[in-house]
Structure 1
């Protein structure tokens, strides 16, 4: 596709919940080869992220032979409505988007807080989900997930952040990982026209409230995961300071049909650093 993800137009769709969702759709452009009739892959974004915080190189690699849709959930970026402060309501809002897009079934790829939402959808509306990819994820009620470490809050949980702070959380401290991070940032900011609306501080506060509520320790909640009946691919970077890799092992051990991969020399943004390898792994899993 000429221009790839970085050239896709921002689109809007109105849902039954009264929210108008902003989204981008690789299958809506001529010549993608993705095929609009196949099961689409829908991506769920990280904390404070919008349509422009996906690495175009990753989306383009995922969209080889497959329709990929990114969207802003209610109240986020260019979507209308208010951002909920619970993962459960975020999941209901995302289900409304899927219905508005007339997706009877989809593959879901959730990243960070988006992976919490994707888990919830797989539990409350299992018929929608064919396969599930959880990137930098953790189960509800896991011990040690009640909020982030102080250095993570200082880097990404303040009203004004910097590229250096972003790199410090999303990439490892090695020269190769940091260089990959700088290249990913250049790709994300290469688009200058029709960029998505930045997330507000109110959205970030609501999202962090949702993260903290998801992380209140309650061992019994871990049993929920045995109800996820679809194949799941659990992934993370080996040095993620935001959602530690041990939670990926926990997820993979609790979900009946799960496979696990931890990517080396990488952190929260491992899927951007290892975009070609990650996209190939996701393609093989979904196929």
Structure 2
């Protein structure tokens, strides 16, 4: 009886995932990844245009509602026009509340398995977050244009000059961009799309209503007036009114944010971005690793 000795087989190892390629991306490759992912987001919007209702229909409805319904009961110091007072506030109001879409979009990607597919591609990992913010900045520009067009249609006009008007819109867009990273954190921390939307509205609506965006704050109770004075939305709104040359009753409040609203708005925007952008990156990595 003979025995046959089998030679040991050599174990084969699976090829590694293209993580190294993603880590070696240069600035141009990162920009290319962001451009491709941003185009993907825009394609989704083109296939379902109603996603833009919060930046197209909502600004028109809210502007008309507050100007013609609530504006009749608001008396401004010196008899100033409520239209000129309200439109800068509606600009901030609509841009801030529309950032909920950032959280909803990211929550949808995370919870539907799209992020798992992105992990297998040799792409910049943070490109998903940056592309979402770029897409939402594009839609925010549309929202700002619609608010301005609605304001012009009802008789609003900026009196600070073209250069200062551009600075006002740029400042509000920068603030909205910073807030969108906060909504990105909410979306990444949520376990579902509905939760992300509910949390976003639950956080943002009290912030925008407890500000000077819609009404003057001088007659509020002292504690509430202090809250609105240091509310970042109030600083951005006061800065927009100052740059646009529109009525700004908050300028009479003796507090640093209201006496220097432009600087306060810039500092708030930088601070929010410095906190929320790294936090969103950490949350994204954790969700992608699950």
| TM-score for both structures, normalised by structure 2 | 0.27
Larger radius of gyration: 2
* Higher percent of residues as strand: 1
| TM-score for both structures, normalised by structure 1 | 0.27
